[in-house]
């Protein structure tokens, strides 16, 4: 069934907003100096920025400046992390004595990027490091005894894990028995029995660790180890240069792993995206090329999440993740292009397999009333590709807005991957049935496990009972956080530029969504590629109060649109000055012609089916929830809206119900904030 989206608007605290807005005006680096702050319209934009920052838990000018303009100076000292000093001591000794080092990493984006960071850092510091990335199907996730045994037989005396190992108790004992020093670096939550016995365990989420930021991904933890090692062995100039270079790789992992883009993660993402524009690594350049990412401007987080990350992930999902390490290590551009093309093909294969599994999942759910009514959906099938079930679980959650686990059965063995909704801690649910698994792990919103196929029916029953004890039907209603109501005429390049300061968007800092009531279609909707829609919209009633009549935009409206469709905005003073002139021109036009209204293109992704169910005509009034973007096309570019939801209203419709949010935005999940690639 089509789930009705509930729009929620948090109440504004005007005193706090006004106080922060006043402080923001005194930050000239953000807005091009005090001159740029003049004018009531500009003041309203700073007011909006203050409101958005407060919604994200940022209430002071200092924290706002750190959030809006992150720098390397904002990184925490790596030695604050428990176990890191011991890990760096052992790595330093291995480098000094020319010992071989084995890096043992996961096969996803986070794991492979962590391997690249640590391997490069060790080699820059004069050491030698090989790596092992397990095959998803043949070996599965986490450390294995047989790999450690082979490494010991080959003379390896130091193994460091990345993005895994926090629950690898038996492999840690194997390493100790064989005289191999094991360093575990991970970010996943430890189990109820603490952490394995290793030479060092580096994980900000382990008990007793006082590291100030807990939300790092696996590559982020590996980065902190690399940072500590380089501080030990490189001079200050080389440290800074290499930290900036590593930002590109850790940004890809951070965005792909969907950890909150706050604190240190925001430093990684913001600086890393900017550094991607200056990529010189042949493999990275080839990857950006096959992903069709232009470097005329820094890539954004959406492009990383849905173009770059899926191609990296495809190697581990469909083939061998070693190709990713080689891609980032190769010096020959021709070989780099060959490897990037292979990842592109694997991603296409992954997409086709995903579609096949989802068709089967939909058939199972639609044909099983119990699954339709389940509080936690557990669906299994024979022959489903183990590397794609996690993405399939994400799709099920997006469609039904319930916790979902997709299980691939392979004879007597079964392998599952789960995703969750905000109110439901998935790892706690899985741990409540721990005796059914041969191994499992994860966190609040995702999990993975292996189990005997015979246990699947019992798992389905136990997880549904667990969910029914903790969830209500209201928890299954999608919620869209709306930042504010806007008139379409309030949407200007200057507002877009202020919003641009909040990028990169992602978990913990989703792209601001707004609502507008009673806007009118100036033309019939267009269907794009049988899936998407494009609307032309303007405010419903003109300034003089005359009733709207659908027609082509007037010359004045087109002039205003042309003025507003300025080149892509960047936070610098020159653009601000051009923007102010544009807004002044629009204001003059409004004074001269009270009927002037700007017409916006609005794109609705995957909304074509909704139009078939509820057709729209030119002149119809709708309420919309949307984000504000910019089309870079040189001929018809400009500001445009991306629809998050729409609701038809009658000519005399009342104000739609918008509820007050009971908690800060930073604690809420992002509804359709991204479409996994």
pLDDT tens sequence across 543-569: 334 444 444 444 334 433 333 333 333
Q: How confident is the model at residue 381 (pLDDT cuts 50, 70, 90)?
A: very high
Q: How confident is the model at residue 85 (pLDDT cuts 50, 70, 90)?
A: very high
pLDDT at 31 over 80: no
Nearest Cα to 195, choosing from 221, 171, 222, 229?
Answer: 171
Mean pLDDT of the chain: 85
For 17, other C-beta atoms within 10 Å of its C-beta total: 21
Q: State whether the Cα torsion 33-39-40-45 is positive or negative.
A: negative
SS3 485: strand
pLDDT tens sequence across 388-408: 999 999 999 999 999 999 999
Residue 13 is classified by DSSP as -
Average pLDDT on 239-251 reads 95
Residue linked to tokens 């450690």? 148
Q: For the chain, what percent of residues have pLDDT higher than 90?
A: 69
148 neighbors 178 (Cβ within 8 angstroms) = yes
How many angstroms from the chain centroid is the CA of residue 337? 26
Q: How confident is the model at residue 213 (pLDDT cuts 50, 70, 90)?
A: very high
What span, in angstroms and rounded, lies between the C-alpha atoms of 232 and 275? 25
Residue 204 has what pLDDT? Answer: 97
Over its C-alpha atoms, the chain yields an Rg (Å, rounded) of 26
For 240, other C-beta atoms within 10 Å of its C-beta total: 13
Residue 610 has what pLDDT? Answer: 86
**Quick check: bond before 504 cis, omega within 30?**
yes
Q: How confident is the model at residue 444 (pLDDT cuts 50, 70, 90)?
A: confident
Prediction pTM value: 0.83
Residue 597 has what pLDDT? Answer: 61
Both tokens of residue 601? 């293109």
Both tokens of residue 397? 């959650």
Residue 660 has what pLDDT? Answer: 39
Q: Which residues contact 223 (CB under 8 A, 6 or more apart)?
A: 114, 117, 246, 250, 268
Residue 135 has what pLDDT? Answer: 83
Q: How confident is the model at residue 337 (pLDDT cuts 50, 70, 90)?
A: very high
Residue linked to tokens 């702050």? 37
pLDDT at 667 over 70: no
């Amino acid at each position: 069934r089509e789930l009705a989206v509930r729009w929620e608007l948090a109440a504004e605290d005007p005193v706090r907003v006004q106080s922060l807005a006043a402080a923001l005006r005194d930050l000239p680096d953000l807005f091009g100096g005090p001159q740029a702050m003049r004018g009531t319209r500009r003041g309203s934009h700073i007011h909006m920025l203050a409101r958005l920052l407060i919604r994200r838990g940022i209430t002071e000018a200092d924290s706002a400046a750190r959030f809006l303009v992150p720098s390397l100076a904002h990184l925490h000292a790596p030695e604050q992390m428990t176990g890191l000093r011991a890990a760096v001591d052992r790595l330093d000794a291995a480098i000094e004595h020319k010992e071989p080092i084995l890096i043992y990493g996961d096969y996803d984006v986070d794991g492979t990027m962590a391997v690249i960071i640590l391997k490069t850092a060790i080699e820059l510091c004069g050491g030698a490091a090989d790596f092992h990335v397990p095959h998803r199907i043949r070996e599965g996730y986490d450390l294995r005894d047989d790999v450690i045994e082979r490494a010991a037989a080959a003379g390896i005396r130091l193994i460091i894990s990345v993005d895994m190992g926090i629950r690898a108790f038996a492999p840690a004992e194997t390493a100790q028995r064989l005289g191999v020093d094991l360093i575990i670096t991970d970010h996943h939550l430890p189990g109820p029995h603490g952490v394995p016995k290793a030479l060092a365990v580096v994980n900000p989420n382990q008990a007793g660790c006082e590291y100030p930021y807990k939300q790092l991904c696996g590559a982020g933890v590996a980065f902190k180890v690399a940072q500590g090692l380089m501080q030990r062995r490189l001079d200050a100039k080389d440290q800074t240069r290499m930290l900036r270079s590593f930002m590109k790789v850790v940004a890809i992992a951070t965005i792909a792993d969907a950890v909150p883009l706050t604190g240190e993660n925001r430093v990684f993402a913001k600086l890393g995206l900017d550094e991607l524009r200056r990529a010189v690594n042949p493999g990275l350049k080839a990857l950006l090329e096959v992903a069709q990412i232009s470097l005329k401007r820094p890539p954004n987080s959406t492009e990383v999440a849905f173009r770059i990350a899926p191609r990296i992930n495809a190697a581990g999902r469909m083939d061998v993740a070693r190709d990713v390490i080689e891609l980032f290590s190769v010096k020959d551009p021709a070989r780099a292009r060959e490897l990037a093309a292979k990842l592109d093909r694997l991603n296409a294969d992954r997409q086709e397999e995903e579609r096949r599994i989802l068709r089967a999942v939909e058939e199972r759910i639609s044909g099983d009333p119990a699954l339709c009514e389940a509080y936690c959906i557990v669906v299994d099938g024979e022959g489903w590709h183990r590397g794609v079930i996690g993405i399939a679980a994400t799709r099920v959650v997006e469609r039904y807005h319930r916790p979902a686990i997709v299980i691939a059965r392979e004879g007597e063995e079964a392998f599952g991957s789960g995703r969750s909704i905000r109110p439901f801690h998935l790892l706690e649910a899985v741990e409540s049935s721990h005796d059914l698994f041969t191994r499992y792990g994860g966190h609040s919103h995702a999990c993975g496990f292996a189990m005997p196929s015979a246990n699947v029916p019992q798992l389905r029953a136990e997880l549904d009972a667990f969910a029914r004890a903790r969830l209500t039907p209201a928890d299954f209603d999608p919620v869209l956080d709306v930042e504010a109501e806007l008139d379409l005429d309030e949407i200007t390049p200057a507002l877009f530029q202020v919003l641009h300061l909040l990028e990169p968007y992602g978990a913990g800092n989703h792209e601001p969504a707004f609502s507008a009531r009673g806007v009118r279609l100036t033309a019939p909707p267009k269907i794009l590629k049988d899936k998407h829609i494009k609307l032309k919209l303007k405010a419903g009633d003109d300034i003089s109060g005359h009733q709207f009549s659908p027609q082509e935009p007037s010359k004045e409206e087109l002039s205003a649109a042309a003025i507003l469709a300025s080149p892509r905005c960047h936070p610098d003073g020159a653009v601000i000055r051009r923007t102010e002139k544009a807004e002044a021109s629009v204001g003059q036009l409004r004074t001269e012609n009270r009927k002037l209204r700007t017409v916006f293109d609005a794109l609705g992704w995957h909304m074509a089916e909704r139009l078939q169910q509820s057709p729209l005509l030119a002149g119809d009034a709708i309420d919309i929830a949307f984000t504000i973007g910019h089309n870079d096309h040189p001929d018809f570019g400009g500001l445009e809206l991306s629809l998050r939801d729409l609701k038809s209203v009658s000519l005399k419709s009342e104000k739609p119900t918008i509820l007050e949010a009971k908690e800060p935005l930073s604690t809420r999940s992002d509804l359709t904030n991204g479409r996994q690639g």
